[in-house]
């Protein structure tokens, strides 16, 4: 098979199940939908895939107001109106005012690309459905030009979701799906060591004990994720705390838990709270 396969990169540690999903998406030419808690490295995955396949990455960051057509093209009618008054450009050619969106750029590109559609669940409920045809056919029509933009090379499409909203069934049917589970202790140790290579084992152990215990607290609205753990460790290192203080005090809990209620819930469950000052 001539297809280049994804096998992780030096800075991105992918488990074998994730590798299988990525390669299935690449070979089957389906979008890969990656779902999981915030901070489990979904967005980084797209960067790693692009790096590993040696392709440029085009990232489309979705917001609540994003519409499907934004990813295809934008007709800047306001600019054209302005130019018609002040005569800066050739307004007779509408082409000067059509700008391709991220998907449009990927379709028009002369080399194969990787497209990241980040946090697809932020947009309107119908947003994924509006992209079905374009992702299936890898082509779309621009009525203003009466032209069709068809992909010269099918891009690898990676879509991330935090599961804020449920995605529509027809969309899910077309995707290769992967759920990034929360890293277990062994993998978390690997991840943390990428960020803090010189961290002592005793401190790491103490911090991970506390971290996983806090995550188990019932009723947390926002359980701390990997990125919070990494930040917390930075603070612990900077403060020069020893393992005992990490285990028995509650140092810098605000870095792990950002909501008042969560903080109270986690601290009230301590059997023997020695408050850290």
Residues near another protein, by CB under 8 A = 1, 16-17, 20-21, 23-25, 27-28, 30, 35, 64, 77-78, 81-82, 84-85, 125, 164-169, 172-173, 175-179, 181
The dihedral formed by the CA atoms of 163, 117, 148 and 146, expressed in degrees to the nearest 10:
80
Which of 114, 204 has the CB closer to another protein? Answer: 114
Nearer to another protein, 20 or 230 (CB): 20
Judge whether 221 and 259 are in contact, CB under 8 Å. yes
Cα angle for residues 239, 257, 253 (degrees, 5° grid): 30
Non-local (6+) Cβ contacts of 170 within 8 A are 129, 132
Minimum CB distance to another protein smaller for 109 or for 117: 117
**Which is nearer to another protein, 86 or 146 (by Cβ)?**
86
State the CB neighbour count (10 A cutoff) for residue 185: 12
Nearest CA to 183 among 153, 227, 145? 227
Count Cβ neighbours within 10 Å for each residue of 66-79 and write b for 16 or more, e otherwise: bebbbbbbebeeee
Closest distance between another protein and the C-beta of residue 213, in Å? 18
Q: How far is the CB of 277 from another protein (least distance, A)?
A: 29
Answer yes or no: are the C-beta atoms of 150 and 142 closer than 8 Å: no
Q: Which is nearer to another protein, 165 or 215 (CB)?
A: 165
Q: Closest distance between another protein and the C-beta of residue 178, in Å?
A: 6
Return d(Cα 178, Cα 143) in angstroms, integer. Answer: 36
Q: What's the min distance (Å) between Cβ of 6 and another protein?
A: 12
3-state secondary structure of 8: coil
Q: How far is the CB of 39 from another protein (least distance, A)?
A: 16
Rounded to the nearest whole angstrom, what is the least distance from the CB of residue 148 to another protein in the complex? 25
In the complex with another protein, the residue whose CB is nearer, 1 or 277, is: 1
Q: How far is the CB of 207 from another protein (least distance, A)?
A: 24
Query: What dihedral angle (degrees, nearest 10) is formed by the CA atoms of 259, 166, 159, 119?
Result: -30
Tell me if residue 235 falls in helix, strand or coil: helix
Closer CB to another protein, 81 or 194, in the complex: 81
Report yes or no: 143 and 155 within 8 Å, Cβ to Cβ.
no
């Amino acid at each position: 098979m001539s297809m280049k396969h994804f096998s992780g990169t030096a800075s991105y540690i992918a488990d074998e199940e994730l590798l299988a999903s990525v390669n299935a998406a690449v070979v089957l030419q389906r979008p890969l939908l990656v779902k999981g808690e915030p901070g489990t490295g979904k967005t980084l995955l797209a960067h790693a895939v692009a790096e590993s396949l040696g392709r440029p990455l085009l990232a489309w960051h979705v917001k609540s107001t994003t519409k499907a057509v934004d990813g295809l093209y934008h007709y800047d009618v306001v600019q054209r109106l302005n130019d018609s008054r002040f005569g800066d450009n050739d307004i007779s050619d509408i082409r000067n005012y059509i700008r391709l969106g991220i998907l449009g750029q990927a379709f028009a590109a002369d080399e194969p690309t990787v497209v990241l559609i980040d946090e697809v669940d932020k947009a309107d409920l119908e947003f994924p459905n509006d992209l079905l045809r374009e992702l299936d056919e890898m082509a779309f029509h621009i009525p203003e030009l009466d032209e069709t933009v068809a992909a010269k090379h099918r891009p690898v499409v990676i879509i991330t979701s935090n599961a804020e909203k449920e995605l529509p069934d027809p969309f899910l049917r077309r995707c290769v799906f992967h759920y990034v589970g929360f890293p277990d202790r062994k993998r978390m140790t690997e991840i943390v060591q990428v960020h803090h290579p010189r961290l002592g084992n005793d401190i790491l152990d103490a911090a991970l004990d506390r971290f996983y215990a806090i995550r188990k607290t019932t009723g947390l609205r926002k359980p701390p994720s990997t990125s919070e753990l990494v930040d917390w460790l930075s603070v612990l290192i900077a403060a020069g705390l020893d393992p005992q203080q990490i285990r028995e005090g509650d140092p810098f809990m605000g870095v792990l838990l950002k909501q008042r209620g969560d903080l109270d819930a986690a601290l009230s469950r301590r059997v023997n709270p020695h408050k850290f000052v």
